[in-house]
């Protein structure tokens, strides 16, 4: 027969829901000219720290933070 059986469709839906619960991640990319405060902004948000003494970031900088959105933990 054409299409999916109800049991197969139900299994796929459960798998999709479980995978979505595990893979909740948001990527935030901050772009801007040199010296405008991208690193300061990231450190303030992620680490709740501010310092006026930063060296220029060469390349890329990566930080992660877990936040709760609509009652779910999301990794940014």
Question: What residues does each domain of the chain span?
Answer: 24-75
Continuous segment of H or E residues that includes residue 18: helix 6-22
Give the pLDDT confidence score for residue 18 in this predicted structure: 61
Give the pLDDT confidence score for residue 21 in this predicted structure: 58
Give the pLDDT confidence score for residue 67 in this predicted structure: 84
What is the Cα–Cα distance from 53 to 11, expressed in whole angstroms? 54
Sequential pLDDT tens for the chain (76 residues): 456 677 776 777 776 666 665 556 778 888 889 888 888 888 898 899 888 777 888 888 888 888 887 777 888 8
């Amino acid at each position: 027969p054409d299409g999916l059986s109800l049991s197969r469709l139900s299994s796929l839906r459960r798998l999709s829901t479980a995978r979505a619960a595990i893979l909740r991640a948001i990527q935030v990319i901050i772009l801007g000219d040199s010296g405008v405060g991208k690193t300061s902004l990231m450190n303030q948000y992620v680490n709740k720290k501010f310092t006026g003494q930063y060296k220029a970031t060469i390349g890329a900088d990566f930080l992660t933070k877990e936040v709760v959105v609509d009652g779910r933990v999301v990794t940014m």
